[in-house]
Structure 1
């Protein structure tokens, strides 16, 4: 073997070893390196009491994922005022067992939720390289997950509000909050045409109509998949803040490179994780996209993008932070 051939063989060997090491890190370590990202959104009425929101997303829960379940349970120590769950809680036919275990400590804490498609359909193997070409496609099949049981748990046992193509209101720490949300836009289940009527009905019947004095109303949009049409509609309907998941933050990133490699929707890749500003038709809202806490059981790897819950503090707009 010539020197050049030996050098090429060595280089290939080093590259292969590096690839194996990266995969092992992503599958065995980083996928379970759960983190809490903290953010501040100054959207409340001046002088209002701050609100702490725990944003959970994309659990993709399987029953055997006990470490993830215990870590989520431990977040109760943060004592959030509100939970926002942006969907894809289930990740297995028996995933509700793990979801119940993970979320039981939050019973009685106000919460709202929307669904992703993985709250209806169990995971299937997909070629990850196809995500670089376009958002993943779906094939018609019957729902096979315990969606109705998940809803009963979230609504009846935890007391959370269902925002799938709906609008609801909450009075929290003296703050008047209205929420509107959609079902999974990745599947085309968002019914933006229904939201104006739902918002109008909510505003006509909300309890604080009988109490004209008080803080201004703050509107918050909630979606699983942050498609541009949904974000634009939320801004049009007056949202000051928007919460979303779905992207997994790209799930696999290049260290040191800003932005996700893929987002699996049409949001700009540099807004696929974190807090940014979404602008539309001369108006804007703060947008928080969570990288989520799980992965498909068929793609159990994260790299340079650890799983996360997000602790967001809503503060008065008259408070500035450096």
Structure 2
């Protein structure tokens, strides 16, 4: 018969092993995910879109910086950055340097709350139980980040800012119209500023936002955008193997916490891609069953 103390000791050992894996290996196990999305007009050649999100750069994160620099080797046609680039107010130069090779490509960006404000320490278990019960509506801001420096770096490279704005980029001979919102997680989104639906004069129109709140997804989808790109969720960050995310840090269902899915609203349907991102809050530097990622989306002809 197994001694009574053996069970809690076994649980403790398994828990310690999971923490060691999550904090020591998986949080740096950077990967590239790939999806095909049929949204282009007939006759158009495929477009390769690289989405980076939730970098949460902290000064000194050399491995992450080298990996981000290496993404240019994927040779995307354009880049979409869906926000939360910072987790350290001193890390703007390192974030821009890490993204440097990608800044040489056509691109666009929106900001997330962590671009504007530094994170605050929180008990991860409290965060989890709160999200399982439901969002309490409170936003806890840390110190103000120098987001203007980040914006100026992106703008000077030619990336298009989409915080409650529309913009255009040209990639592979196609005109891409983009409509973006500032971060709904801290209620900076102003859909009325960009309402009106896709730009019919462009070859393709895309919608971009940091946090995939349902009110935003409903608005973009009902207006007729074929594809919405978002981040924010970290894919659940601490997931259950073979099950997936438990939380999304917004009102999106956990089943769509990362990857490609669809969204329906107003009698229309759009593709939704949510990036699990490649970083973490500096105070919770762990991932489990949810490796850090960037995504290469190949846009193909509509079926």
Aligned to 1:235: 221
Measure the CA separation in 2 of the matches of 1:145 and 1:28.
Answer: 27
Residue of structure 1 equivalent to 2:193? 194
Residue 70 of structure 2 is aligned to residue 82 of structure 1: no
Q: 1:248 to 1:194 in 2, by over 3 A?
A: same
Q: Are the aligned partners of 1:49 and 1:174 in contact in 2 as well (CA < 8 Å)?
A: no
Deviation of 1:8 after TM superposition, in Å, equals 2.4
User: Residues 194-252 of structure 1, C-alpha deviation per residue, up to 9 Å, x if partnerless?
Assistant: 1126x69xx5xxxx96xxxxxx6322110000000000111122210110000000001
Indicate if the aligned counterparts of 1:135 and 1:263 stay in contact, CA closer than 8 A: no
Structure 2: distance between partners of 1:97 and 1:62: 11
Q: Note if contact 1:86-1:224 (Cα within 8 Å) is conserved in structure 2.
A: yes
Distance of 1:148 and 1:289 partners within structure 2: 26
Give the aligned partner of residue 19 of structure 1.
Answer: 15
Q: Does residue 64 in structure 1 map to residue 49 in structure 2?
A: no
**Aligned with 1:26: secondary structure?**
helix
2: CA distance, partners of 1:308 / 1:163:
22
CA contact under 8 A between 1:66 and 1:98: conserved in structure 2? no
CA contact (8 A) 1:134 1:264 kept: no
What is the SS of the residue equivalent to 1:17?
A: helix
The match for 2:161 is 162
Query: Is residue 251–residue 302 contact of structure 1 (8 Å, CA) maintained in 2?
Result: yes
| Aligned-pair CA distance for 1:137 | 4.8
Correspondence 1:239-250 to 2 at 5 A: 239-250=225-236
Question: Measured at CA, do residues 138 and 65 of structure 1 come closer, stay the same or move farther in structure 2, by a change above 3 Å?
Answer: farther
- Aligned equivalent of 2:30: 34
Per-residue Cα deviation, 1:139-189 (whole angstroms, up to 9, x for no partner): 575851110000000111x21000000111233223232110101101011
Whether 1:116 and 2:102 are equivalent positions in the alignment is no
Kept after mapping to 2: 8 A contact 1:292/1:309: yes
Task: Summarize deviations over 1:12-52 as a string: whole Å, max 9, x none.
Answer: 00100110010000001000000000011010001102110
The aligned counterpart of 1:95 is 91
Residue number in structure 1 paired with 2:294: 309
Partner of 1:224: 210
Of 65, 69, 81, which aligns to 1:73? 69
TM-score (norm 1): 0.88
CA contact (8 A) 2:160 2:168 kept: no
Indicate whether 1:53 and 2:52 are aligned.
no
| Gapped regions of structure 2 (runs ≥ 5) | none
Distance 2:73 2:46 in 1: 18
**Cα distance in 2, alignment partners of residues 82 and 286 from structure 1:** 19
Q: Deviations over 1:58-80 (max 9, x none)?
A: 00000110000000101111111
Q: Secondary structure at the match of 2:98?
A: helix
Which stretches of structure 1, 4 residues or more, deviate above 3 A after TM superposition? 135-143
Q: Distance in 2 between matches of 1:142 and 1:254?
A: 29
Distance 2:15 2:276 in 1: 23
- Asked if the contact 1:113/1:161 (under 8 Å) is kept, the reply is yes
Alignment RMSD: 1.8
Q: Name the CA shift for 1:143/1:9 in 2 (closer, same or farther; >3 Å).
A: closer
- Matched residues, number: 299
Match of 1:213 in 2: none
Q: Give the structure 2 partner of residue 285 of structure 1.
A: 270
1:110-142 Cα shifts (integer Å, max 9, x gaps): 001000000011111112233333336545758
Query: What corresponds to 1:176 in structure 2?
Result: 175
Gaps of 5+ in 1: 210-215
TM-score (norm 2): 0.94
